[in-house]
Amino acid sequence: MKALLLHKPAPIETSPLQEEEIPTPRPKEKEVLIKVEYCGVCHTDLHLVEGEIIPPSYPVIPGHQVVGKIEKTGEKVTRWKTGERVGIPWFYSSCGRCKFCRKGKENLCNKAQFTGFHVNGGYAEYAVADQDSVYLLPEKYPGENVAPLLCGGVIGYRALKLTPLLRGETLGIFGFGASGHIVLQIAKYFNLRVFVFTRSEKHQEVARELGADWVGKPDSSPPELLDGAIIFAPAGELVPIALGNIEKGGTLTLAGIYMTPIPSLEYPLLYQERIIRSVANSTREDVRELLDIAGKTPLKTVVEVFPWQEANQVLQKLKTSQLKASAVLKF
């Protein structure tokens, strides 16, 4: 099969991903072989390629928003049949025994493994995965539109779950990228009122089209206090701004894996039982629940599709903010 391998991290401008012909992997007893149709491109892939995060070994095949059809199943696979359309997300597996796993917090397991990092991902014509690490995809979505649900969508959904809100209450979303788009739609499905804070006029327009109840710049005052908020932008200076707009007892959830330093806070911003929390990765349950919601209500994802051979260039565009939407590679 053809695959894009990373032998050594390097600046993306030097095209570190190499196209190579390697043997198609054979599924072990409990694994499935997936013929990849689409794979989403994520900021984490860029961090991996440029060496900001270091995988246990090289070469590695990146890609953790993998969409494809099952081509072959291992001898002991019970859950899947050939021809089924499935996805592989970022969370791949965990130890299942530690205190985190026992509490349903497998995303925090010290031995957690991630797709396209600990195990090879979807920047290839084929991928193998454990039968418990793949998910049936809702039928009504074209492959390119379902791919972004597998990372941005899942993280966004987890962030929303960790921000306790009742029907009719108001959620603030700061930063309107891949996750923000999807969370807005899920929040509307849950009958929340949604206020979107984003600098970009284009994003403000899209937020209105997708049903936002109010849209404004990050430093503008919303018409009423927020009952909870999520920050998707990696900008620490948004923390005091968001907190200043949050109602007593409300939660502010920080959804990024990276954030610039958070400025010092005046205690009254936090007092009255306001909570700040972060989100790390996701669990299998998050993926299943999100895909279930996606099956019940159409979630729109805005994508730009590229031939897989252009992965290096696409990652360069991602680095320099030249992408209009979530990028997806087609195989």
Q: How many CB atoms lie within 10 A of CB 17?
A: 23
Helix, strand, or coil (residue 110): coil
Does position 257 bind Zn ion by CB under 5 A? Answer: no
Q: Which residue stretch of 9-17, 90-98, 179-187, 303-311 sits at the interface with Zn ion (rule: CB under 5 A)? A: 90-98
Reduced 3-state DSSP string for 4-56: EEECCCCCHHHCCEEEEECCCCCCCCCEEEEEEEEEECCHHHHHHHCCCCCCC
Q: What separation in angstroms does the CA of 132 have from each of 7, 9, 72?
A: 28, 30, 15
Does position 151 bind Zn ion by CB under 5 A? Answer: yes
Does position 242 bind Zn ion by CB under 5 A? Answer: no
Q: Closer to Zn ion at the Cβ: 146 or 226?
A: 146
Task: Give the Cα separation of 236 and 231 in Å (integer).
Answer: 9
Per the CB < 8 A criterion, the answer to whether 1 and 126 are in contact is yes
The footprint of Zn ion on residues 187-216 (CB under 5 A) is none
Q: How far is the CB of 263 from Zn ion (least distance, A)?
A: 27
Q: Closer to Zn ion at the Cβ: 94 or 245?
A: 94
Does position 101 bind Zn ion by CB under 5 A? Answer: yes
Q: How far is the CB of 143 from Zn ion (least distance, A)?
A: 17
Judged by CB under 5 A, which of 94, 131, 179, 251 binds Zn ion?
94
Number of residues that bind Zn ion (CB under 5 A): 8
Q: At what angle do helices 152-161 and 178-189 cross, to 10 degrees?
A: 50
Does position 262 bind Zn ion by CB under 5 A? Answer: no
Q: How far is the CB of 94 from Zn ion (least distance, A)?
A: 5
Q: Which residue stretch of 28-36, 106-114, 170-178, 210-218 sits at the interface with Zn ion (rule: CB under 5 A)? A: 106-114
Q: Which residue stretch of 149-157, 184-192, 233-241, 304-312 sits at the interface with Zn ion (rule: CB under 5 A)? A: 149-157
Does position 53 bind Zn ion by CB under 5 A? Answer: no
DSSP letter string over 232-301?
-SS-TTHHHHHHTTEEEEEEEEE--S--PPPPP--HHHHTTT-EEEE--S--HHHHHHHHHHHHHSPPP-
The footprint of Zn ion on residues 26-45 (CB under 5 A) is 42, 44
Can you give the binding site for Zn ion, defined by CB under 5 A? Answer: 42, 44, 94-95, 98, 101, 109, 151
